[in-house]
Amino acid sequence: MKRGWIIGGLIAALCIGALGCSKGEGKSKGGEKGGTIPPVAVEATPVQARDLTEGIEVVGSLTPRIEARLRAEYSGIVTDVYVTEWVRVKKGTPLAKLDTREIEAVVQRAQAAVEAGKANLLQAEVGGHRAEREMTRAQNLKEAGLITQQLFDDARTEKAASEARIAAARAQVQAAEKDLHQAQTRLSKAVIQSPMDGVVASRNINVGDLVGEPGSQRILFQIVDNRELELTITVPSVDMGRLRLGQPLNFSADAFPEKTFSGQIKFINPTVNEADRSVKVIAIVPNSSEILKAGLFVKGRIITGQRQGVLQIPRTGLLSWDVGTKKGEVFAIDRDLAQRKSIQTGNVSGDWVEVVSGLQAGVPVITRGAFNVKNGDRVKMVQLNGGQ
């Protein structure tokens, strides 16, 4: 009896297990059929052989190539200011005038001294002519034996004395003329003039101000010429070997995001800055329209060369990128499957990055939608407008 119960239990257990397996298989098949993951829609760009413009990315500031900061060379009270800020001036344009009454009196005295000196010189020259005639007469009489040696010596002495008086009078005139020139120069400095063509960038004086005090470094006017600017930049010393005088430089400023400007390398510092191991470079920027202003911060690129047929991918195709080691990762598409690959990068040209190794020409690289993709996922390439 017990043996029958045992056999019956085993048969029941086998039946229950068979039913469970049958139900499990049904669920598995249904799940596989209804749970298939659809391909991820992504945008992709094939690896392309393109012309590569090599360069060095830089940042810097614009400064006027020619500017003047004017200080007073003559101490006095400002009586007139002829210009205001932001007006265009020519070389020699009067900007301001100081009180000249005192120096004008000095000029008048110097002119009087010159005139007095010239009168003394004229008088000395008249005396010299007289002494010359007396010396000639005495010479003739001495040869005829009609005068003594003493009278002849007196005539000769008078001639030498007259020559000395003429020389002294001439020296006096020259000294007086130099004093007059100095006074006139000081008088001319009382009128502050523009030393160049340009625009008044700043004016720091008003009528009644005392300027030109001893030791004063006060800047009265700043004149700038924006028709030609200097762009000062720094380049890492590792890129110094690629720098050459005359290389073009393209740059843009935040003030004009849709415009591109150009310049040319004119100066490369022969020494390296020990603090950051960089080289100072100055580029000349033509600015005849004067749209650019001194002080603007710009971002640019020094063009160092060009190569043709270089494999490149869009910068957006990089999942990760170590600029220092020039290593990156991308999702390449192989038979509708996303494959994560490591690549070696090279130079950068705008939005395109050179591929040195790791990819072949024509291989699609995911450039948009990669955040939804895992390695090995099925993907579906779509166009920018969302079409297939």
> Which residue type occupies 212?
G
Q: What are phi and psi of 57, to 5 degrees?
A: -75, 130
Say if residues 273 and 267 touch (Cβ distance below 8 Å).
no
Which residues make Cβ contacts (< 8 Å) with residue 296, sequence separation at least 6? 61, 62, 253, 255
pLDDT digits (tens, 9 = 90+) for 323-357: 889 999 999 999 899 999 999 999 888 789 999 99
Say if residues 43 and 290 touch (Cβ distance below 8 Å).
no
Q: Would the CA dihedral through 115, 121, 122, 124 be positive or negative?
A: positive
89/231 Cα distance (integer angstroms): 24
* Helix ranges restricted to H, the chain: 2-34, 101-144, 149-189
Query: What kind of fold does domain 72-99+190-219 have according to CATH?
Result: OB fold (Dihydrolipoamide Acetyltransferase, E2P) (2.40.50)
Token pair 């003030």 is found at 255
Query: What pLDDT, on the 0 to 100 scale, is given for residue 364?
Result: 94
Q: pTM of whole model > 0.85?
A: no
Say if residues 206 and 231 touch (Cβ distance below 8 Å).
no
Options 2.40.30.170, 3.30.365.10, 2.40.50.140, 3.40.50.150; which CATH number does 58-64+226-306 get?
2.40.30.170
79/99 Cα distance (integer angstroms): 6
Query: What pLDDT, on the 0 to 100 scale, is given for residue 11?
Result: 43
Options 3.40.605.10, 2.60.40.10, 3.30.70.100, 2.40.420.20; which CATH number does 41-52+307-381 get?
2.40.420.20
Q: Which two tokens stand for residue 176?
A: 């007086």
Q: Which two tokens stand for residue 348?
A: 């950068």
245/267 Cα distance (integer angstroms): 7
pLDDT digits (tens, 9 = 90+) for 92-149: 999 999 999 999 999 999 999 999 999 999 999 999 999 999 999 999 998 888 888 8
Q: Indicate the burial class of 134 (C-beta count within 10 angstroms; 0-12, 13-18, 19 or more).
A: middle
Say if residues 254 and 297 touch (Cβ distance below 8 Å).
yes
Query: What pLDDT, on the 0 to 100 scale, is given for residue 208?
Result: 95
pLDDT digits (tens, 9 = 90+) for 21-76: 444 444 433 334 445 788 999 999 999 999 988 889 899 999 999 999 999 988 89
